[in-house]
Amino acid sequence: MSKKILILAGDGIGPEIVAEAVKVLAALQQRHGLKIELEHALVGGAAYDAFGSPLPQQTMQLARAADAILLGAVGGTKWESLDIALRPEKGLLGLRAGLQLFANLRPAILYPQLASASTLRPEVVAGLDIMIIRELTGDIYFGQPRGVRRLDNGERQGFNTMVYAESEIERIARVAFETALKRNRRVCSVDKANVLEATELWREVVTRVGKDYPQVQLSHMYVDNAAMQLVRAPKQFDVMVTGNMFGDILSDCAAMLTGSIGMLPSAALDVHGKGMYEPIHGSAPDIAGKGVANPLATILSVAMLLRYSLHNEVLALRVEQAVQRVLDQGLRTPDIYAEGCRKVGTREIGDAVVAALSV
């Protein structure tokens, strides 16, 4: 049966990079038996311009009906002065919350061909392949009560609440263990159980869920140590699982180990494996329309979509190998350019990946 994929190009470089990813999907459809139907809709600033909302109802309806969503990026200076509820980023948050996409999967992979792009020494990062799994719909970002109150002495006090229910911890832990089964079978759970009760419970529940996965080796690490270890010896990690706030920080830190923001995909999944897939970078207004944006993070997001929502590991690997081949050929967009390589634009990289799919 054919699967519905909703394409949300978004703003800035979004339409340029998504066009290349759509070429890849079309090639898989035409030449490799992938059964999909593509639909397109607006989100972010483009949706605000057309409909007065960053997440119009029709986009949300299509998103609910889709099996998976591929998103470019949203945002740009043009919309920065809007009321916060109308800003492009609200479109993204609305999709994540409305579709209950609670599991954020962020691989940090450093391709050997790009080892010099990292600010860390090549021997520390070459061959890096970590999967950070961040809980996305709970924690201090959503906990109540929250706000700024006036104390008896007249000064103001800001407050937020870190909360995690057992069921929320259990479902993200299961995602981590299931993911580890498809990788090197190690999970490191990150918390601050020595100080915060909410994360003491986190550790207890993750340990309990871990008993269902005897094939996976579970370890625990305090978040401060995890941050240190990520830059000291990142290759010790396979899957890291953590809450929303710690994951926010650690996943960006891990991304930067690779030094190339244009290369990293991500997924946000619901309990059924339906997901929204997007590059980790933003809409890059500084290079929008110039034809130089790196589309590989978006193309690699297609690989994640194939793996996690369409359960098509064969085609997921085909896409990832095609990207590797293009890097082997020495083709580089300016953001990952190094001496001795050939500098090319967005379309040429996309065309090269499409050609490499059939090798």
248 is an active site residue: yes
Residue 295 and residue 20 in contact, taking contact as beta carbons nearer than 8 Å: yes
- The residue written with tokens 């871990």 in the block is 210
**Which of 169, 241, 287, 344 touches ligand NAD by CB under 6 A?**
287
Nearest to 240 by CA among 128, 160, 137: 128
141 is an active site residue: yes
CA–CA dist 143, 139 (Å, integer): 6
Select which of 4, 78, 235, 248 is catalytic. 248
CA–CA dist 180, 239 (Å, integer): 6
* CA distances for 2 relative to 33, 38, 297, angstroms: 10, 10, 25
Q: Please report how close the Cβ of residue 316 comes to ligand NAD at its closest, in angstroms.
A: 20
210 binds ligand NAD (CB under 6 A): no
198 binds ligand NAD (CB under 6 A): no
- Nearest to ligand NAD of 80, 224 (CB atom): 80
Per rule CB under 6 A, count of chain residues that contact ligand NAD: 22
Mark 64-103 with x for binding to ligand NAD (rule: CB under 6 A) and - for no binding: ---------xxxx------------x--x-----------
337 is an active site residue: no
Which residues are 69's β-sheet partners?
6, 276
Select which of 141, 235, 337, 343 is catalytic. 141
Nearest to 163 by CA among 131, 135, 132: 135
234 binds ligand NAD (CB under 6 A): no
204 binds ligand NAD (CB under 6 A): no
Mark 239-278 with x for binding to ligand NAD (rule: CB under 6 A) and - for no binding: ----------------------xx---------------x
Q: Please report how close the Cβ of residue 71 comes to ligand NAD at its closest, in angstroms.
A: 7
Per-residue burial over 147-168, b if 16 or more Cβ lie within 10 Å, else e, is eeeeeeeeeeeeeeebebeeeb
Residue 333 and residue 263 in contact, taking contact as beta carbons nearer than 8 Å: no
- The residue written with tokens 């996976």 in the block is 216
* CA distances for 14 relative to 43, 160, 295, 298, 316, angstroms: 11, 34, 9, 9, 22
328 is an active site residue: no
Supply the residues annotated as catalytic.
141, 192, 224, 248, 252
Residue ranges binding ligand NAD (CB under 6 A): 13, 17, 73-76, 89, 92, 261-262, 278, 281-287, 293-294, 297, 335
